[in-house]
Amino acid sequence: MKRAALYLRVSTVDQHPETQLHDLRQMAAQRGYEIVNEYTDRISGVKAKRPGLDAMMADGRRGRFDVVLVWACDRIARSTRHLLAVLDELSRLQVEFISFRESIDTAGPLGRAIVVIIGAIAELERSLIVERVRAGMRRARLEGRHIGRTPLQLDQDAIVRDRMLGRSLRQIAKMHRISTATAQRVLKQHAPTTLAKSA
């Protein structure tokens, strides 16, 4: 009986890995694998360093399982380079890699070739998304639209006047709904240094 490790990843804490876990446990049972450990990460696939993945690879080096089951290739990595690095190491460790969604099994050469192709497509898709976002930002700038947080509108004269009336930085910040650091910066720019000192 082959010993199996399940690897699951979701992008944020708002997502749940239960769907992936159900499918992988079912696949392991159908193939007669013994599940020896389940590794989960709640983190972006872009990040190469992940606690769950790192723990799984460390256990793989110790020979604690014979096959890794994942729900999809992009659960392991979003970049072809990282995916191939993981697959290469698993291959050297004589650990098989099986993807549920793509029905890929690296026990054979065809499975490994398909993994490379799918990884390249996933990376291309992500690059296209990034490029579309950048193009949208460039277009917005050309059209004169503001990108990012709306600039803070300050009544600087009123802030200086309130300080001259003897109000503390905390009082001024609360009245104008700004931070004390912002209030202090305005006072330094528009009033004598003595006015900017904390009360």
Structure token digits, residue 129: 């998304």
What pLDDT does residue 199 have?
47
161 and 82 belong to one structural domain: no
What pLDDT does residue 76 have?
84
- pTM (2 d.p.): 0.56
Contact 178, 152 (CB under 8 A): yes
Q: Where are the beta strands (DSSP E) in the chain?
A: 3-10, 34-42, 67-70, 96-99, 104-105
What's at 155, amino acid-wise?
Answer: D
Cα Rg of the chain (Å, integer): 27
Say which CATH number the domain at 64 has: 3.40.50.1390
Q: Is 69 helix (H, G, I), strand (E, B) or coil?
A: strand
**pLDDT-derived band of residue 46, with 50, 70 and 90 as boundaries?**
low
| Selected residue with higher pLDDT from 101 and 48 | 101
Contact 95, 66 (CB under 8 A): yes
- Active-site positions read 11
Q: What is the pLDDT of residues 52-97, one digit of tens each?
A: 999 999 999 999 999 999 998 888 876 777 887 788 788 888 899 9
Q: What is the pLDDT of residues 146-167, one digit of tens each?
A: 666 666 677 888 888 888 888 8
169 and 113 belong to one structural domain: no
Q: Is 29 helix (H, G, I), strand (E, B) or coil?
A: helix
Is 190's pLDDT higher than 60?
A: yes
Range of the domain at 168: 156-196
60 and 111 belong to one structural domain: yes
Is 195's pLDDT higher than 90?
A: no
Q: Is 154 helix (H, G, I), strand (E, B) or coil?
A: coil
Does residue 68 lie within any of the structural domains?
yes
**pLDDT-derived band of residue 10, with 50, 70 and 90 as boundaries?**
confident
29 and 92 belong to one structural domain: yes
